[in-house]
């Protein structure tokens, strides 16, 4: 489970904006419910089975609060599952 959180934080770090890991809060959830999983960079207690279920869903909401300003951003991702990548690997651009 921690690997998923690390990948999210690593992706944020690769976005090119500096932030303090010890200030961030991370929430993972669905349209109906989000669960705080990191507070000030530290893991919190949460229902591991619920989070595992969410990570298998086709839609996932991720909220990363950097606590470093008033700006907001919203992004959308796409299907990057192994099946999707394999299916599309036959095309060349």
Q: What is the pLDDT of residues 37-78, one digit of tens each?
A: 999 999 999 998 988 888 788 788 999 999 998 888 888 877
Residue 93: inside a domain: no
pTM for the whole structure? 0.76
Provide the domain count of the chain: 1
SS3 string, the chain, reads CHHHHHHHHHHHHCCCCCCCHHHCEEEEECCCCEEEEEECCEECCCCHHHHHHHHHCCCCEEEEECCCCCCCCCCCCCCCCHHHHHHHCCCCC
CA geometry: angle 53, 45, 37, nearest 5 deg = 65
Range of the domain at 68: 2-88
Per-residue tokens: 26: 């991370």
CATH number of residue 68's parent domain: 3.10.20.340
């Amino acid at each position: 489970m921690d690997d998923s959180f690390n990948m999210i934080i690593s992706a944020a770090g690769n976005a090119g904006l500096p932030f303090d890991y010890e200030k961030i809060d991370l929430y993972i959830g669905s349209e109906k419910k989000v669960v705080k999983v990191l507070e000030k960079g530290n893991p919190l207690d949460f229902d591991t089975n619920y989070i595992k279920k969410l990570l298998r869903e086709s839609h996932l909401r991720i909220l990363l609060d950097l606590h470093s300003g008033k700006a907001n951003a919203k992004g959308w991702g796409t299907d990057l599952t192994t099946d999707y990548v394999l299916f599309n690997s036959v095309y060349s651009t």
